[in-house]
Amino acid sequence: MADRYLSFTRTAPGRFVTRRLGLPQPAPLCRWSAERPALEGPLLHLTAGDTPLPGLHEALTRSGLPPHAGPLGTQRPAAVVLDATAVASVTGLADVHATLHPVVRSVRDCGRVVVVGAPPSPADHHQAAAQQALEGFVRSLAKELGRGRTATLVRAPSATAAEPVLRFLLSPKSAYVTGQVIEAQTEPEPEPESEAEAKPKPEAELPDPIRPLAGRTALVTGAARGIGEAVAHVLARDGAHVVALDVPAAAPDLARVAERVGGTALPVDITADDAGERVAAALPDGLHALVHNAGITRDRRFAAMAADRWSAVLEVNLASVLRTTDFLLKTGTVRRGGAIVTTASVAGLAGNAGQTNYAASKAGVVGLVRSLAPRALAEHGVTVNAVAPGFIETRMTAAVPLLIREAGRRLNSLGQAGRPVDVAEAVAWLATGPVNGQVVRVCGQSLLGS
Ligand SMILES: NC(=O)c1ccc[n+]([C@@H]2O[C@H](COP(=O)([O-])OP(=O)(O)OC[C@H]3O[C@@H](n4cnc5c(N)ncnc54)[C@H](O)[C@@H]3O)[C@@H](O)[C@H]2O)c1
């Protein structure tokens, strides 16, 4: 559905009227395209204090943007990465101000400010206070930046752990991700499946940066339309063979999506008792990425909510996710080195009137991720993460009443709704297993909060 307000604010009268009335003036976001696969402009790499994170500059060099440690002259940065890992005191926070303040205005439209922090220490409350302060700083800066610019905090114990997160955040694929904290912990290396896999991989076998999912199989539930359809497209673009699942009633749309992505259609109701068996039977060689996207809403205020509305939502959005995840992990259908990506929602983090059933189901998904992620990685070599979309333009949100829909679009730091592709980019990134146990909000920093 077209965002007429966004289009209006791009016209001369629209700019005039919205400025006079003090209304939001959202900037069009610069999303990934084959013609524009990277942010345009240099990357400024700054350090707060005297102790840089070892290997960070090299990691940034591999990110695709040329990093500069010194002044850029007349050039404006497309991104600023501030290494704040050594900040351990209020004095260190003064360094954050001294380092970032002079350059923050110069960041280009649709640019990025990424702060790299260290995990707060349970043994040093001064360091923990300073590192936690970075979170409040970044979340506030994200609300101030405007012009499609984003601010995020990556907490990482090493440059190696931070690198895959930085690659995503410093690319146009993260256009609708802002005001976020992503933890890039070092996890135990998954046990190799065989001796052959234990050997270091020759250069040619390393993941292709353009098609990181080449040779991999991905299952996407709810793929006949909306976000699921976009996920199928982006996973296929990244090289995966996509198995697109949706309810039998959606079979014609599902077949169309499967054909367009060169994949396979699997018409199955994910709530069926034998859904796991049917997925496993359709994937005799197993799968690398399991994307739980199917979801429904049945909104009513709790006092007026009949039991069938409650249980229908809990069944599709949570029970089927728990059941199929358990089955596909237990049977080894999700292969070692693979990834499970679930779909939560900002409503599940913040709560939303009229959506007690939906928010309960989506908060349940977050609980599943937090509990299962460490065990799934240790026992099965599989990462488990979630995306939490905010207000995304799909048929689900087209059904929302006009005024609430307009509020949903505007009440975030980027002043606009996300597109299905924004969620799909985050899912495709998580499908490569860069982090574990994370809930990545794709919400333009929804003012619903968390
Ligand atoms: N659109 C948003 O703003 C938004 C925000 C937060 C979270 N989400 C979540 O993102 C996911 C996709 O949302 P969307 O907006 O694309 O929704 P949508 O309604 O456009 O698409 C959902 C798809 O899931 C399928 N589906 C429903 N029940 C199923 C079942 N039992 N078995 C198999 N497939 C089933 C539907 O047929 C449909 O194709 C959902 O989990 C939703 O809760 C969406």
Q: Name residues whose C-beta falls within 8 Å of residue 14's C-beta, 6 or more positions apart in sequence.
A: 7, 8
Lowest mean pLDDT among 21-30, 153-162, 349-358: 21-30
Q: Name residues whose C-beta falls within 8 Å of residue 263's C-beta, 6 or more positions apart in sequence.
A: 232, 236, 241, 242, 243, 244, 257
Q: Is 439 in the pocket of ligand 1 (CB under 6 A)?
A: no
**Could you read off the pLDDT of 269-292 as tens digits, one per residue?**
999 999 999 999 999 999 999 999
Q: Name residues whose C-beta falls within 8 Å of residue 161's C-beta, 6 or more positions apart in sequence.
A: 184, 185, 186
* CATH number of the domain located at residue range(s) 211-442 in this protein: 3.40.50.720
Sign of the CA dihedral running 49, 53, 55, 61: negative
Residue-level pLDDT at 203: 40
Q: Do domains 23-32+39-183 and 211-442 have the same CATH topology?
A: yes
**Could you read off the pLDDT of 207-241 as tens digits, one per residue?**
677 899 999 999 999 999 999 999 999 999 999 99
- Confidence band (pLDDT; 50, 70, 90) for 66? confident
Give the rounded percent of residues in the chain with a pLDDT score beyond 70: 94
Residue type (1 letter), 354: G
Work out which ligand 1 atom sits closest to the CA atom of 269: 32
For a ligand 1 pocket test, name from 245, 268, 293, 443 the mutation site with the most ligand atoms within 8 angstroms of its C-beta: 293
Q: What share of the chain is helix, strand, coil (3-state, %, to 5)?
A: 45, 15, 40
Work out which ligand 1 atom sits closest to the CA atom of 292: 41
The Cα–Cα gap between 291 and 424 comes to 10
The Cα–Cα gap between 54 and 334 comes to 35
Question: Whose alpha carbon is nearest atom 21 of ligand 1?
Answer: 226
Contact 419, 392 (CB under 8 A): yes
**Could you read off the pLDDT of 88-112 as tens digits, one per residue?**
999 999 999 999 999 999 999 999 9
CATH number belonging to the domain at 23-32+39-183, selected among 3.40.640.10, 3.40.718.10, 3.30.930.10, 3.40.50.720:
3.40.50.720
**CA dihedral in degrees (319, 321, 322, 327; nearest 10)?**
120
Contact 179, 207 (CB under 8 A): no
C-alpha 428 – ligand 1 centre gap (Å): 17
Q: What is the mean pLDDT of the chain?
A: 92
Residues labelled as active-site residues: 358
Residue-level pLDDT at 450: 59
- Confidence band (pLDDT; 50, 70, 90) for 173? very high
Q: Give the start-to-end residue ranges of the domains of the chain.
A: 23-32+39-183, 211-442
Residue-level pLDDT at 204: 41
**Could you read off the pLDDT of 191-209 as tens digits, one per residue?**
555 544 444 444 444 567 7
Question: Whose alpha carbon is nearest atom 44 of ligand 1?
Answer: 389
Q: Is 29 in the pocket of ligand 1 (CB under 6 A)?
A: no
Q: Name residues whose C-beta falls within 8 Å of residue 88's C-beta, 6 or more positions apart in sequence.
A: 124, 126, 127, 130, 131
Alpha helices in 22-67 (DSSP H): 56-61
Q: Is 425 in the pocket of ligand 1 (CB under 6 A)?
A: no
Question: Whose alpha carbon is nearest atom 42 of ligand 1?
Answer: 295
Q: Is 418 in the pocket of ligand 1 (CB under 6 A)?
A: no
